[in-house]
A and B are shown apart, each in its own frame.
Chain A
Amino acid sequence: MEIIQVVGLGLLVTILSLILKEQKPMFAFLLTACAALFIFIFLADKIAAVIRVIESLALETNVNLVYLKTILKIIGIAYIAELGAQIVRDSGFSSIASKIELAGKVLILVMAVPIIEVLIKTVISMLPASG
């Protein structure tokens, strides 16, 4: 029942940072950032287990590993961008958070271009008029 621990941590941090916000808002920010990092590190372990399974499946079925690596990198970028954007948004800077999210989206698009290229080439080679 790890979800209970996560929820407990969240409630605890919320109460503590409500107390701290009265006196020193900076410390409240660092406290929430610390809690967010804890939860993300905890989740990273769980995601690692899933990814090991996906990796072994890909090795068994002879899928080109480049695709798998690209997809994993995209997931990693999404993970980090989400974390950063949420921490920044919590402290009230929505515009910077939006820029972080935009950067995440653009970098994911850049990573995905080779896959999209292969996909479109496959579709074109299937067309009868491509000859």
Chain B
Amino acid sequence: MNFDINAIFQIAGIGIITAMIHTVLKQMGKEDMAHWATVIGFVVVMFMVIRLLDQLFQEIKTIFLFQ
């Protein structure tokens, strides 16, 4: 099993840090900045997941669909 376990911790870490940044910015009264921080964190994580999804689909195509 040779996959990169770090990605799991990266995603969890990004989530926790984003939640902290959101809370801090909200306390400072910058609501819209807090929402932007959340959205940016979400997009970063989404890129990681989509890259994995692409990898899986390529693998399934080469295995099952003879391409």
Interface set of A (CB-CB < 8 Å, partner B): 2, 5-6, 9, 12-13, 16-17, 19-20, 23-24, 26-28, 30-31, 33-35, 37-38, 40-42, 44-45, 47-48, 51, 69, 72-73, 75-76, 79-80, 83
Contact = CB atoms under 8 A, between A and B. Distances in A.
Nearest to A40: B56
Q: Is the interface of A mostly helix, strand, loop or mixed?
A: helix
Nearest to B4: A38
Nearest to A68: B66
B56 A27 contact: no
B12 interface: yes
Interface string B29-67: 000000000100110011011001101110111011110
Q: Is the interface of B mostly helix, strand, loop or mixed?
A: helix
A71 to B, nearest CB: 10
A73 B12 contact: no
Interface residues of B, number: 32
Nearest to B61: A76
A42 B63 CA distance: 13
Interface string B1-32: 10101011001101110110010000000000
A73 B1 CA distance: 25
A24 B60 contact: no
Contact of B8 (A24, A35, A45): A35
